[in-house]
Structure 1
């Protein structure tokens, strides 16, 4: 009786151990047969299926008239799955019962060194490709690095430099080469080269970090990703162009299911199952390709410049260009090291889009000052110009004071025509810092316009967040001299050509400030509208208290600046038309003791029935009227000529590296000079206020625009080296038979 409990306990323990053992066994059986079944099936001899992802076709980008600015062309690529090549090599060595090999350790289960993959590829793949006459030079270090980083998950792109004839010849023999794939895929193309390059942007080839987690299980070693936009609308509308939606997070991807035998060779000539890739959304820009070509060609007359053309009736951007520029095709499918060095070593930074970068605006800021004055009932004031305005011991001069004169009493139109500094400084001081800041913010200064381009600068006006960030030691309330410099676009003031063009458009159309629009519409492949073609009104100045008669005073002043003696914008004049304009010149910085200048001209026309607003900026232009005025004239003349029926040209544009040198004047054609009067004063130089700014401790605006706001990370094409160079073929070899 004393032994019975002990016996019972042993039985219980034995039973628990047996049940536990069976539980572990069942758990392992479930793991092998259910959870890891697919992996073991792939390893087992015999046919197996592999699903290969095919990237979607990127949507096209067109101009407003349907001209393709970014499209896709057929590209033929040979790629290597290094894992499959390695497995095929191991099986071959096992079949030959060869264990004395420099490549393997531990029963040929792993490579001794990653660099041995290069020797395997040469033996297994490059040799047969040589026999087919399809071998290409490649970067051996890049292949080894690719293997270390990606293994067999990401295919290694061997070459895209093959013709259709080579493609067809390879297709006849491709089944003999395990791990080697021939792909037909769309490749991005920019048919007009540098035209609108900053607006369009470029792509970066996909990498391992772009692979979604769920794709590892679905596609395994056969994931082929989508190229991604890293600049311009290619970046900001990347998801839309790839067809990515909430319902379809994988975009327009397709797939094909292929069957391989135990040796890794493809079985059958057709996929077991397939779904063709779809196409991303079609994006239509507001850009007019012909106007873009006109503006870009005109800007090439200057060294470093930018410009914007807008439709004043809708806020649509018809053209936006920046010099120097680049060719986005250089990044397709990847940029060479030599070309990347060429762009990176250019001290003028061709990747910068100067049309959305901020610079000292000079006297162009007199127009938003006048608009702010009109909002507050000061448009009919008469202010006196004695040649300068004193601020303590500092005198801020008018440009005419450099010639020993003064303007005397001026009305608002006369002050705009003659670009008088004291008039607008006195108006700004009467308004005070708060009203000036509120008025300028209403007109979009000190904040981004919101167009879909990366790297847009907000600009800067005193009292704004950007001003406070850059000048933390300044007083919370700006001083009168700060406000005065803001009114004439000197000191801390910064603005972009796009911001100034938008304000010009507002003045032209009677006070309606439209949000600048770059994308006209976007439609997916099912016809669903993703972006509607609708103007967006930001503010109507008439509803904000500006009298139509006061706004007309500002318009009149800009018309007088072009068409009457004493104006600063005489070179904008076009015989047979009335054009209105405002010039500006600002001293931006001093380099090696010499001042550098920003020159501007903004204009609209025709005066009575305005359609176009233009703003052009030239870095190192000595005079807005003499440098930017002729450029605006040429652009406006081309636009008006087209309206009369003349056809504007359109051709691919080669990029220009730009130059930075002082420009005193840009000459107009002789027939134009004979028809207009250019004896008027050129007006402000920017130097008249610079001395006072220095005395007052105000540093001229320098927006740190010497670097791109966002530095894109392109894919670089490695150059072929000795390890990846195909040796010259000795004699003629017979192609391998299937």
Structure 2
């Protein structure tokens, strides 16, 4: 009995032991598997999680690339600046430190309160910016007295600068921080405080100029305090880019405009289409726009009725005036409706329909052929010619000569203007074309609108005997092969002879601006702003009256130099400048003088 009982107890014990051992083995197996999972299978994952808990990644913003002119002169660059910061925990008393700083550099009460309030919201070891872009005098004062200014330190930064100030502003534009839409652009990535181009080439070339961000890995404790730097991947500066503008010529043409309230000058290299100068006034100083605070300066720009932010060279639209007469002459020659000997008698006006169409020369030019009509800018000759041609043929030639088109030169809001035709009027105004409107169009009035760049392209195509020159702001290193306007090469000499005489012979509208050192050719234009009634024309009092600036005609000139083997094309528009002969032509002469001197 006893042995049997013992055997039964032994069996129970063995079963319990086996069960307990199995449970222990299972537990250790689970623990072992978990260790294997953590240390081997998913080690990378959990190392990363651990790293994220301990390591912060700081983005290192890249330095923006430079923009240079055709001669490698810097026209948009960066300067090293120093910003002043304070770390609250490194001061015995934040307010006392700010008061001490005020003994050397003026800090307003409002600014002090702002810094103190901000210090209560951030961690005590975090830096707070006090002053941006310290001048050298203030830097020297701080360095000399830093023993009395606990908690202060300087940090380097870079600020965009534009050495040419207003002269390049419309072409280059300016930079500022991205808005809500721009912050998602791929090339900005995770840099919400990165300044980017907002207008002009700064905007168009953003992707190349911005550069590549770097990063710095830093170990921080649970409070966010930096323990050490782990790794550093430096940023890469943006590309330095070159454009076609000659900064010497740009400054010269800009200065030429400063005696006028508003206007534009465009100069092209005829062989390449490269834009050598393109200026517009009034202008703005991008250095003042990017400097903070800039609220008052912005208000002055936005409140200026002459719109200094408008780039008139590509966004301003003007009636081309008598510069359009070349188009009319070419259309007539193309369709064999006129020849160089075709004459018309000008007595100062013609009657067409129920109204009179006047020539600018009230007593008339007398007997005119095509060449003299261009040379002396006879309106009556072109009124008569337009009746033979019709508006549609004129419009076709105008387009082929470069008007009515936008050119992809990297600038926003470039205006196409208007080259009117029967179809255009029907589609845009839902009206039929009237015959009298053709006469207005023939002298560049009525619906016709062009910008200064288009007019420069037009005269360049004439000067090159019909090459389809297109403008660019980017260097064309290889020889450019432009298409050809075939019919223009047949008739270009007829028109070019007239343009030569318009400048270099007596009775030419620009004769007073001729050069004694070289020959240039061109055509004056006067764009009427205010309609003159018949009664006003006949009034002696009206003719003597001083015309208010806003009611004066716009002054235009398009031309090229030298007359033989032309290299440079130019268009000048002076808003409310009066006549092209008295205002625009002298500017062209001085500009060509400067170009010939420089031998650009």
**What TM-score bracket applies, with the shorter chain setting the length?**
0.7 to 0.9
Preserved contact between residue 446 and residue 466 of structure 1 (Cα < 8 Å): no
In 1, Cα distance between equivalents of 2:98 and 2:58: 23
In 2, Cα distance between equivalents of 1:307 and 1:35: 65
Alignment of 1:533 onto 2:484: no
SS at match of 1:320: strand
In 2, Cα distance between equivalents of 1:194 and 1:336: 16
Partner of 1:714: none
Match of 1:557 among 492, 498, 519: 498
SS at match of 1:267: strand
After TM superposition, the structure 1 = structure 2 runs for residues 505-524 of structure 1, keeping only pairs within 5 Å, are 505-520=460-475
In 2, Cα distance between equivalents of 1:141 and 1:37: 42
Change (3 A) 1:182 1:50: farther
Partner of 2:392: 434
Alignment of 1:194 onto 2:166: yes
In 1, Cα distance between equivalents of 2:293 and 2:267: 31
Partner of 1:472: 429
Preserved contact between residue 187 and residue 207 of structure 2 (Cα < 8 Å): no
The alpha-carbon deviation at position 50 of structure 1 amounts to 1.9
TM-score under structure 2 normalisation?
Answer: 0.78
The alpha-carbon deviation at position 259 of structure 1 amounts to 3.0
In 2, Cα distance between equivalents of 1:589 and 1:142: 57
Partner of 2:196: 228
Change (3 A) 1:578 1:592: closer
Partner of 2:572: 616
Change (3 A) 1:378 1:79: farther
Q: CA RMSD in A?
A: 4.0
Match of 1:585 among 520, 526, 551: 526
In 1, Cα distance between equivalents of 2:158 and 2:422: 47
Change (3 A) 1:611 1:214: closer
After TM superposition, the structure 1 = structure 2 runs for residues 219-368 of structure 1, keeping only pairs within 5 Å, are 223=191, 225-243=193-211, 252-268=212-228, 271-334=229-292, 336-356=294-314, 357-368=316-327
Preserved contact between residue 587 and residue 598 of structure 1 (Cα < 8 Å): yes
SS at match of 1:369: helix
In 1, Cα distance between equivalents of 2:592 and 2:386: 32
Change (3 A) 1:486 1:539: farther
Partner of 1:491: 446
Per-residue CA distance 1:64-114 (angstroms, 9 max, x = gap):
00000001111223579xxxx9xx99xx9xxxxxxxxxxxxxxxxxxxxxx
In 2, Cα distance between equivalents of 1:189 and 1:67: 14
Preserved contact between residue 59 and residue 281 of structure 1 (Cα < 8 Å): yes
Partner of 1:5: none
TM-score under structure 1 normalisation?
Answer: 0.64
In 1, Cα distance between equivalents of 2:259 and 2:523: 21
In 2, Cα distance between equivalents of 1:181 and 1:215: 32
Preserved contact between residue 603 and residue 614 of structure 1 (Cα < 8 Å): yes
Change (3 A) 1:577 1:592: closer
After TM superposition, the structure 1 = structure 2 runs for residues 697-708 of structure 1, keeping only pairs within 5 Å, are none
In 1, Cα distance between equivalents of 2:287 and 2:576: 30
Partner of 2:358: 397
After TM superposition, the structure 1 = structure 2 runs for residues 158-177 of structure 1, keeping only pairs within 5 Å, are 158-162=130-134, 165=139
* Structure (1 or 2) with the greater helix fraction: 2
In 1, Cα distance between equivalents of 2:484 and 2:445: 27
The alpha-carbon deviation at position 137 of structure 1 amounts to 3.5
Preserved contact between residue 298 and residue 631 of structure 1 (Cα < 8 Å): yes
Query: Higher Cα Rg: structure 1 or 2?
Result: 2
The alpha-carbon deviation at position 233 of structure 1 amounts to 0.9
Partner of 2:596: 640
After TM superposition, the structure 1 = structure 2 runs for residues 590-669 of structure 1, keeping only pairs within 5 Å, are 595-643=551-599
Alignment of 1:57 onto 2:63: yes
Q: Which structure ranks higher in relative contact order (CA pairs < 8 Å, sequence separation ≥ 6)?
A: 1
Q: Count residues in correspondence.
A: 530
Q: Which blocks of at least 5 consecutive residues in structure 1 are unaligned?
A: 1-25, 43-47, 93-121, 244-251, 521-531, 649-738
Change (3 A) 1:214 1:514: closer
In 1, Cα distance between equivalents of 2:551 and 2:113: 48
Match of 2:437 among 442, 466, 482: 482
Per-residue CA distance 1:537-587 (angstroms, 9 max, x = gap):
664123xx2343x11011000011111121101132000322111001121
Change (3 A) 1:558 1:137: same
In 2, Cα distance between equivalents of 1:582 and 1:191: 35
